[in-house]
Amino acid sequence: MALADERYCSVDLETTGLNVKKDEILSFASVPIRSSRIVVGDSYCTLIRPENYKLEAMKYHGISKTDLEGALPFSALADTILRSLDGILVGHSVEYDYRFLKRYFKKIGVKFKKDFIDINLVEKWLDQCCGKLGQAMPFDAIMKRYGLEADYRHNALADAFFAAQIFQMQMMRLEQQGIESARQLIKAVNRCTYAIW
Amino acid sequence: MLPPREFIKKIRPFSFLSSKELEILMSGLEVELIHKGRTIYTKGQARSYVYMIFSGLVGLFENDLPLDHFSKGEVFGIVSIRGKPYATTAKALEDTICYLIPADKFHDVLESNTRFSSFFASFVGRSFKSFKSIALDQQVPEEAVLVQEIDKIVYKDPVICGPGATVRDAVARMDQHGVSAIVIVDAEGQPEGIFTQKDLRRTVVSGDVRDAVSSHMSSPVKTMEPTETVFDALAAMVKAGINHMVVTRDGKVSGVVTRDDIQVHLGPSSSITAFFSKIGKAVSVDELKHIYSNINKSVAKLASVGFSFYRLTRMITSVHDTLLSKVIEAQLGEAAADRFLWLNMGSSGRKEQVIATDQDSALVYRGEGEDWKGAAQEVVEVLAKIGIAKCRSGFMASTAQWNQSLSTWKDYFNTWFYDPVQDHVRYLSIFLDIRPGYGDPDLYRELTDWIRWHITAKAIRRLAYDAIMIEPPLGISGIVGLITGVDLKTFGIYPLVNGVRVLAIDNDMVQVTNTMERLEGLKARNVIGEDMCHDLLEAYAFMQDLRLKHHSRSVLDRNAVDNRIRVKELDKVDLLILKESLKIIASFQKFLMKKYDVKRADSYITSVLVGPPSAADQSS
């Protein structure tokens, strides 16, 4: 299947920290990309009630304890979340999100296995194609590069949407670099691992 | 927070939508990246989406001919009727990201929100003025009443009596209706005079209440049409030192407005009226200076909330005229009035002053050998002290060249008409917009009559050339140079004003100087069609509004005032209308080129022969 015709799903989580084994998911957002169109109307976003909540995280993503008290636990949302995750996962450092989700699904006995494409690695790969060194960039920097408004409140839905927009623009550049399918892309960027950072 | 929602919400007219309506649009929204060169839709294709550009450039085409371009924040693919196919073909001229709104959802919202739909309708119909009222903030300052028509504050039927009624009868009737004045009318209902409480006091002292009211009334009586503004009425009352203004419709009395009526609407705090009323009583230059600067600030506030140029400029003109009379009378005494004519030119001559206007004046006297230079110098200096800057190019009554006898002025025009070289064209474009400011009206009549009979075809053609010489800065991606600033005066306002002036002078309208009045007159004479008149009026008002808003920002921020509009000052809709307005000017120029057989192509030759374009350094 051609790169542009594939089904993708841009995903972003807000978590209490970066420890994939211990930290908790606080919110989930997904924005589907079908036939290279971002289908905003089908995007999904929810808060998830954690078992414990570290107060420090609040500074980072602005989700308060009261916000979370009205939310459902992951187990109650798992079906909807799973249904919304349609296609290849896309996001900034999406491997973290993938591993968080995998742990959560495993806990409720669901086997979760998906392909994923990290837009940060795609960007690095594209840079290397252009003869540049190709450095890892923070999300804000990539957004800026693609002319997206960096002035926004950090939240899962906005980040998932912006990641989708970045990937949409990357797809065009990828086609120019001769990438014809998602499979080929995944292979190519995997050579560009985090190890060289 | 959904980013597209935040993006769309900030753009008029989407900003008029309720969150529920926005939600409807969002529920079907898609984002598409369209490669450069790709066709987005073709003419006749069934319509599925309305497009809003997030980034990039899109061209609309009809039979492969380009019609229009759209860029960030602009909407295309709208058809007024649900279910109709696309009327043009759209292509991406650059890689473009579009927000796609399903046409059905768009129409659902269009039908549910009248503000939203009238906005699109106005745009299609090029009614930029109605745009403004739709877009205007709901909250308006109390000064708003000043720019309303007088009619709006006349509630009572006029209290009237015939000239034969006795003073006693008249006063009884005033009491019965609780008014402070009665209008004496003839058999046709036309006003003969007014009888106020002041007149009653005089009657009690030196007359008899059994006398006919006509023998004690004040006459003639000041009247105004109901379509004039409240501020004009107030200005006239302040100027004449009276408290009652009789409103007439077709010559018949239709109401009376008092200074109190106006104050009631404004409240005591209203600065404009309060300050304006003080002009008459002011005794020192410092006082006038204080008054003038405060009026300017209040006008700036009105402009910054979006009050229209056409109305505000009348207010500014009234202020300037009142100040001029006040200063001339204070400096030279009232008797000077019949001995010379003080002329306003440029924007003041056209009654189109904006906030930062400088002095543009000239003086005409009757007899040879008289000397009015010293007198004019005094007036100009005082006006400058009050805060009306002197004209840097010296177009002022204090300059010897522009302070001359009637016969010298006729000689001037004669020279300019027969030898329209660059400088002379410049003079003509200034002195063909003259308006009497103070003094002898006969001198004005004689001079304008003379102009009317002596204008030459050669001069007309040269003036027409001047109007078409500067091409509006329209490029493929919209307006050229907006980042660093586009000079509205040079590119928009001048070509229009100059072109309209040529047509007016060429059609015997020498005494009509106001651009709007000239356009109406030209339409009435069938010189221009109704559509052209409408489009030009709208474009002109819009550009002047922008300029006024721009100036008012400078006044309120205490910055130096210029005419360069920069892209960051404009919201999306302003940008859109500015582009449309410049297009209207471009087609007006084409009309002039054809009518007067002038071409921009010979600009090279002309510029070599007669020097650089004049429009940019014209007097304001």
pLDDT at site A34: 94
pLDDT at site B84: 81
The CATH code of the domain that includes B214 is: 3.10.580.10
pLDDT at site A32: 96
Count of CA atoms in the C-beta half-sphere (13 A) of B535? 19
Instruction: Give dist(CA A37, CA B58) in Å, integer.
Output: 18
How confident is the model over B119-140, as a mean pLDDT?
Answer: 52
Q: Are residues B391 and B361 in the same domain?
A: yes
Give me the tens of pLDDT residue by residue for chain A, a chain 197 residues long: 889 899 999 999 988 888 888 888 999 999 999 999 999 999 999 999 888 766 555 555 667 777 787 889 999 999 999 999 999 999 999 999 999 999 999 999 999 999 999 999 999 888 887 777 777 788 888 888 888 875 565 788 889 999 999 999 999 889 888 899 999 999 888 776 554 44
Instruction: Give dist(CA B55, CA B191) in Å, integer.
Output: 64
- Is the pLDDT reported for residue B14 higher than 90? no
Bridge partners, A91 (sequence order): A118
Whether the complex's predicted ipTM surpasses the cut of 0.85: yes
Q: What is the pTM of this model?
A: 0.56
What is the percent of chain B where pLDDT is above 90?
Answer: 27
Instruction: Give dist(CA B527, CA B460) in Å, integer.
Output: 15
Q: Are residues B89 and B199 in the same domain?
A: no
| Residue B132 domain flag | no
Domain assignment of residue B312, given as a range: 282-617
The CATH code of the domain that includes B17 is: 2.60.120.10
Q: Are residues B31 and B56 in the same domain?
A: yes
Residue-wise pLDDT for B241-286, tens only, equals 788 999 998 889 988 988 877 766 664 445 676 777 778 777 788 8
Sign of CA dihedral B547, B548, B554, B557: negative
pLDDT at site B313: 80
What is the percent of chain B where pLDDT is above 70?
Answer: 85
Q: Which helix (H) or strand (E) holds B224?
A: strand B223-224
Instruction: Give dist(CA B230, CA B92) in Å, integer.
Output: 51
pLDDT at site A18: 83
Q: Which helix (H) or strand (E) holds A172?
A: helix A156-176
What domain count does chain B have? 3
Instruction: Give dist(CA B494, CA A30) in Å, integer.
Output: 54
φ, ψ dihedrals at B2, nearest 5°: -105, 120
**CB-nearest partner of A40 from B29, B33, B55:** B29
Residue-wise pLDDT for B421-430, tens only, equals 989 999 999 9
* CA angle in degrees (0–180, nearest 5) for B439-B441-B442: 125
Q: Are residues B344 and B464 in the same domain?
A: yes
What are the domain boundaries of chain A?
3-196
DSSP state, residue B529: -
Bridge partners, B437 (sequence order): none
Q: Are residues B217 and B303 in the same domain?
A: no
Question: Is the Cβ pair A158, B2 closer than 8 Å?
Answer: yes
Instruction: Give dist(CA A124, CA B213) in Å, integer.
Output: 96
**CB-nearest partner of A161 from B2, B30, B97:** B2
Instruction: Give dist(CA B485, CA A181) in Å, integer.
Output: 46
Q: Are residues B313 and B251 in the same domain?
A: no
**CB-nearest partner of A168 from B26, B29, B33:** B33
Q: Are residues B417 and B492 in the same domain?
A: yes
pLDDT at site A61: 63
Strand, coil or helix: what is B239? helix
| Residue B129 domain flag | no
Nearest to B444 by CA among B504, B363, B508: B363
Instruction: Give dist(CA A64, CA B607) in Å, integer.
Output: 70
Mean pLDDT, chain B, integer: 82
Q: Are residues B163 and B240 in the same domain?
A: yes
Q: Are residues B357 and B492 in the same domain?
A: yes
Cβ-based contacts of B48 with chain A (< 8 Å)? none
**CB-nearest partner of A157 from B1, B32, B97:** B1
**CB-nearest partner of B1 from A39, A40, A152:** A152
Instruction: Give dist(CA B296, CA B272) in Å, integer.
Output: 9
pLDDT at site A81: 96
- Is the pLDDT reported for residue B83 higher than 90? no
Q: Are residues B159 and B90 in the same domain?
A: no
Strand, coil or helix: what is B357? coil
| Residue B313 domain flag | yes
Q: Which residue has better confidence, B239 or B173?
A: B173
Nearest to B305 by CA among B142, B148, B152, B150: B142
CA-CA-CA-CA dihedral for B116, B119, B125, B128, to nearest 10: 170
How confident is the model over B518-524, as a mean pLDDT?
Answer: 92
Residues whose CB falls within 8 Å of the CB of residue B146, separated by 6 or more in sequence, listed in order: B229, B230, B231, B234, B266, B272, B273, B302, B315
Cβ-based contacts of B4 with chain A (< 8 Å)? 40, 161
Question: Is the Cβ pair B35, A161 closer than 8 Å?
Answer: no
Q: How far is A39 from chain B (nearest CA, A)?
A: 5
Counts of helices then strands in chain B (DSSP H, E): 24, 22
Residue-wise pLDDT for B42-67, tens only, equals 988 888 898 988 888 888 887 777 77
pLDDT at site B74: 78
- Is the pLDDT reported for residue B124 higher than 90? no
Tell me the pLDDT band of B614, cut-offs 50, 70 and 90: very low
Q: Are residues B54 and B28 in the same domain?
A: yes
Q: How far is B106 from chain A (nearest CA, A)?
A: 14
DSSP strand pairing (B75-76 vs B49-55):
antiparallel
Residue-wise pLDDT for B375-384, tens only, equals 999 999 999 9
Nearest to B325 by CA among B221, B436, B231: B436
Tokens of residue B526, six digits = 């069938």
- Is the pLDDT reported for residue B411 higher than 80? yes
| Residue B134 domain flag | no
Question: Is the Cβ pair B100, A39 closer than 8 Å?
Answer: no
Residue-wise pLDDT for B432-463, tens only, equals 999 999 988 899 999 999 998 888 999 999 99
The answer to whether B315 and B347 have CB atoms below 8 angstroms apart is no
Q: Right CATH number for A3-196 from 3.30.420.10, 3.10.20.30, 3.40.50.720, 3.40.50.1820?
A: 3.30.420.10
Question: Is the Cβ pair B97, A165 closer than 8 Å?
Answer: yes
Q: Most confidently modeled of B478-487, B557-566, B588-597?
A: B588-597
Question: Is the Cβ pair A162, B3 closer than 8 Å?
Answer: yes
Q: Are residues B79 and B179 in the same domain?
A: no
Cβ-based contacts of A40 with chain B (< 8 Å)? 2, 4, 26, 29-31
Chain A residues contacting B via beta carbons under 8 Å: 36-41, 43, 147, 149, 152-153, 155, 157-158, 161-162, 164-165, 168-169, 171-172
